[in-house]
Each structure stands twice: as structure tokens, then as C-alpha cells.
Chains A and B, each alone.
Chain A
Amino acid sequence: MSGAVPWNEARAQEIIDAHLGLEGPALPILHAIQEEFGYVPEAVVPQMAQSLNISRAEMHGVVTFYHDFRHAPAGRHVLKLCRAESCQSMGSEKIAKDFLERIKLEWGGTANDGSLTVEAVYCLGLCAHSPGALYDGEPIGRVDAEILDELASEAQKS
């Protein structure tokens, strides 16, 4: 999942410059930065502010508004569990709570060995196969304890 490279200011500038021709380039740049480095480093904020000709405060405001931009690298694997109503109708809250207890994590937390980050997500459009999940971008329907435990141990091994 996160085959991310270490922070590199020159590379970040290349990414920023490549998007400057777009109308409203901030989000595409932030996505590309996160894709490259695995998160949105604090250092990119002044750099983007400079290139986009806006204040650092405004840029900071944009980065922090969106749930998807990470402020620190995630684990090697990311599991997003859906907590929206449709999944709740099929018991997702209990399944998730029990799982988080078993692996001793809270929502948004990363396992000590860095293998897995578990995040909440609100609807994946898998509502006819609730509960739904996304593991490293791969969708999973009808999630249960067995599936989650398998994913957690798979994450540890790779």
C-alpha cells in the first residue's frame, strides 16, 4: 500500500509545478503529495502557499479540513471500515468494536509493529453487501470477525 518515498522538497516542488496549470489545483496537488510520500508533510504547506500565492494559514486550513489527508504516515496496510447506517443495520458497530478490542487499537490508530491502520469511513457504496470495508483500496463486502482477523494477520506478514 504505502510504497511511499521519504520527504524530499525538490520532488514536492516538481509535483506542485506539474499541477499549476489546473483550475483550482490544491486538491489534486495534495492527493499527489500524499500518493508520493504517504502523507501530507507539514513542510509542504508553506511551499504550496508560495506556489499558489495564498497565505500559509489558508493552505493549512485546506489540508486540515479534509479527512483523507494524513498528517503522519499510515501503517503498511490501511483498513477502512464502514460505520454508516446501512452497515450498522447489519451489525457493523459491534463487529468493529470487538475487532478493535482484539487488536488493541482505537479508530484511526496504527498497530505498534506498523502493520495496520484502521480508519472509519462513512459509506463505500457497498450497502447491499453490508457491512463493507476497503483494505488497501480493495473492496470487501459482508465483513465479519473471521475476515477481519485474517486481514490483520495477513497485514502482519507483509
Chain B
Amino acid sequence: MTKVYVPRDMAALAVGAKRVLAAVEKEAAARGETIQIIRNGSRGLLWLEPLVEVETPEGRIGYGNVKPSDVPSLFDAGFLKGGAHPLSIGKVEEHPYWAKQTRVTFERVGIIDPVNLDDYVAHGGGQGLAKAFEIGPAKVIEEVTKSGLRGRGGAGFPAGIKWKTVADAPADRRYVVTNADEGDSGTFADRMVMEGDPFVLIEGMTICGYAIGASKGFIYLRAEYPQCAEVLTEALEAARKGGWLGPNVRGSGFAFDIELRIGAGAYVCGEETSLLESLEGHRGIVRAKPPLPAHVGFMGRPTVVNNVLTLATAPAILAKGGEYYASFGVGRSRGTMPLQIAGNVKFGGLYETPFGLTLGEIVNDIGGGTLTGRPVRAVQCGGPLGAYVPPSLFDTPFDYEAFQKHDSLIGHGGLVVFDDTVDMLQMARFGMEFCAIESCGKCTPCRIGSTRGVETIDKIVEGVDVEANIELLSDLCNTMKFGSLCALGGFAPYPVESALRHYPEDFRKATLPAAAE
């Protein structure tokens, strides 16, 4: 029976995967063809979605941008045997966007049936956990430390050190919490891994739970990802049924279970202490640190709060060894980073590669420049709180420290491309406005600073005392940066300051006509 892959990834669904699936089923039935349809995740070649794949003896042949109306002609062309068709991209593994990647965290995403445990195991799943049980908790933490893995949520804190802190903290209970509140514009890596390979997150959380001595884990998922919640629910069910979760995980005697929790549309809950407050059932208001969640976390107990990608990378690190993972990357940025290329870009998608490519290579060579065909003017790196980087800095290598040198962030690896029609004054205004809407309100610099920031930018837009107000805005940014309790207020100045620094002309437009007259 021929296997046909039609993704159930949210991005594929957004461009018609469901209707394509119905068309394929209908056409196959009408022609008396028996096929097995697998709802895989996405390969990450997102501009080609819906990407339908067919398994042939030569490998998996892909057909990109399939519309329901294309389906009869695909059957006519013998696509069930990999036949030639204008939509064919040939073997997916040979496509340059795929072939040039180094997939570690995303090893199985887009390839396997996300909710089928047998398929997971057949593709190497479970080896990390088996290794963990073999070497014991202390050695697990050693391997993770050796790998150099840093938190993929944005702050880049070494994962091994966090795990060790929690393991060493005296407590009657400990917790693992996955921060799946991926709210940054331009990011979708967490969503893709959870929709395309949810067992890898489950396995990673179990490894972490085993290493730190926790028997309970939570996935705090943002409400904006309903399809993701569906897949995770199915996967958790399958994991329990298959003995991967529960009182005796895989016959090891270790007890661990995971509960899925859905957020309620508050961006600040991506901040780890807000997230914990929200999980406990309170307003998502940040806690002052210290104490760190590693000491006093969920319900006052030591808690590892890690991003999806961090935990989803643990199985590969255990299976292949910390040193293998550390062999990729540059400087102190070890391993691979799943880049998310988005916005006004020709080849948008997910591209996992070792740290160290330059920003220009990512945007122009991999992303193919803008979709509109106009020149690139800015790339926002690291979400709504990330800096805007101009093409003059495109030789910056993608690593944590190199980005810091330019006062910009890698964050979660999201890159949003803008063409030359972008108004950077408006983008700076939006940065402040977003912070004002989403501020939890606990600290003054963030709560009031962001509102004053919007007002000040509005004066600049109107051309009122432009230079004085620019100075005021810079001062305000400085106060927010150093006076805010958490990263929402502390990083909101990044887009504003970077816009001011790299695109000063956009802030002085209102005065230009007068000067010209």
C-alpha cells in the first residue's frame, strides 16, 4: 500500500492541507487505489506547503503547493509512483533547503507520523531515555552540561547548570515545566516540533524529570495553537497507553506523568515566573528574582522551566553524547539552532543549522530575499522585543555573543524580514504599544514607561519638539532596560533603540518638508 503524506502542521492547514487531503482521498477512492495517508508534521519548507509526499522505492517524492484542483492531474501523472508533474520537487531529501541543514532537534519532524509511537521508535526515538536510565541521573546532567546546550527560549542560560541546581535543591517534590508559550512574532519552531514530533518533547521532559528527581511535568501551551493542543493530547494519551508515561516508565521503575495546560492569551506568561504564577492559577504577574524558580518554582518547589526546543534537544544529546552535540557551533554557542525565517521573505521556513552562519547568508541565500522582490531594509531578530538589524550588519555571525555586541538578540531564533517600504518609526511605536498592552503591570518602568513611550513617539510622528522627544525616548528606554523586573519591560527598548540607531531618518520625517521649504 502506497504511503501518502499530507501534513497536519498548522501552517500547512493554513494554506489548504485539509482540502487537499479530502481531494486525495476522494480521487483515490474513485480510481480504486488503496493508499495509506499519514498526517505528518511539516518539513519546514513552508513556502511549498501543502507539501504532499509519496513514498517510493527510491525515496519520498514531494509535490509542493498542491491545490485541491491539482489532485486529479497528480493521479493522472502517476504521482503514487513518484511520477513527473509540474508540482514535483523530486526527492525531498535532495532539495537544497533540506540537504544543507543539520537536523538534530528536528531530526524526525515532517518525516514521521507524529502520534505513532512505533514510528517514533523506528526513527531512533527512545534511545536518549534508554541511555539516561542506563547511566543514572548524575551522569545525565553531566552529558547535558557537556553538550553546551543553552536555553532556547531566549536568555541562553546553560541547561545543564539549571538542571543541576534543581537536582541539588532539597525538596519533597520537584517539577519540570515546559514553557510552550512561544509568543514571539516570527517564531514557530516550538509549534512545529510539538505538532511534528511530540514524543521527542515527552521524552526530553522525562529525561529531565529523571535527572532532577521529578515525577510530574507540565506543558504550558499558548492558547493561539489549537492544532498543537490536539496533537499533544493525542501524543500524551498514546505515551500513557504505551507505558512511556505513568507509574513505571518503560519498565524502569521511574514514575513520571505530564499534564497539558493551556494559557489564555497573555504574552507575559512566556516569562518563566509569570508562567508559574499562571500555572498556579493566579494573574500572570512576574515574581522578583531571587529566589530563582530552580529553588522556589511551581507551588514553591524547585522547578526546571525550559523552553520546548531545549527539552526536545535532550534526547538527541543523550542518544549521541554531549560531545557530539558540542562539536557543532561557534564560540560559546554550541550545537544547532532551528532558524525560523519569516515575514516578507521568499523561502520562509524552518532551517536547522549549527550556529555561525552570517545573518546575510540566512536572509539572502537561504531565505532568498523579500517576497515582494524589493530590497531588504530590516530584519527583526528575536521576536517583538528583538532589535531591528540593517543590511549593513549582515556579516554578523549568528551566535549569542556576536549579536550582543551589536545590542541585538538571537532570542528564540526567529527572523522577520522587512522590505524598504517599512516605516521604522511606526515599528518602534508598535514595539512600545505591544509592551503597554502586554505589561503585567507589576513594575513601574514597564507599566508606565511603555505608555509614555507610545505618547512620546506620537509626538515625534507629529513633528513636535522632535530632537527633545527623541532624547526623552532614549532616556525612557534606558530606564525600562535597567529598571524593569523582567524581560518584557527590559527588552522592549531593543526594537525602539535599534530603530533609532539604524534608521534615524525615519524619526525626523515630519520635520523634513518644513526644512526643505
Contact = CB atoms under 8 A, between A and B. Distances in A.
B384 A62 contact: no
Q: What 6 pairs across the A-B complex have the smallest Cβ distances? A: A128-B348, A26-B281, A127-B342, A84-B185, A66-B264, A141-B14
Nearest to A141: B14
B14 A89 contact: no
Contacts of B299: 23-24
Nearest to B349: A128
Contacts of A66: 263-266, 284
B341 interface: yes
Given A86-B342, A141-B11, A125 B261 contact: no
Given A27-B262, A85-B416, A88-B427, A139 B384 contact: no
Among A25, A69, A138, A141, chain B packs the most CB atoms within 10 A around the CB of: A141
Interface residues of B, number: 61
A24 B278 CA distance: 8
B223 interface: yes
Interface in B285-329: 285, 298-299
A134 interface: yes
Given A121-B265, A128-B188, 18 more contacts: A24-B279, A66-B264, A67-B266, A68-B265, A84-B186, A85-B416, A86-B416, A89-B344, A123-B187, A123-B224, A124-B10, A125-B10, A125-B225, A127-B343, A128-B349, A129-B11, A137-B226, A139-B13
B47 to A, nearest CB: 7
B31 interface: no
B283 A61 contact: yes
Given A84-B384, A88-B427, A67 B264 contact: yes
21 contacts: A23-B280, A25-B281, A27-B281, A28-B262, A62-B282, A68-B223, A84-B186, A87-B185, A89-B416, A89-B418, A122-B185, A123-B187, A125-B182, A127-B414, A128-B11, A129-B15, A129-B49, A129-B348, A130-B344, A132-B14, A138-B13
Given A65-B283, A124-B224, A139-B227, A89 B430 contact: no
A16 B387 CA distance: 44
A125 B348 contact: no
Given A130-B342, A141-B14, A123 B281 contact: no
A128 B46 contact: yes
Nearest to A140: B14
Nearest to A90: B344
A2 to B, nearest CB: 15
A127 B224 contact: no
B340 interface: yes
A85 B10 contact: no
Contacts of A84: 185-186, 384
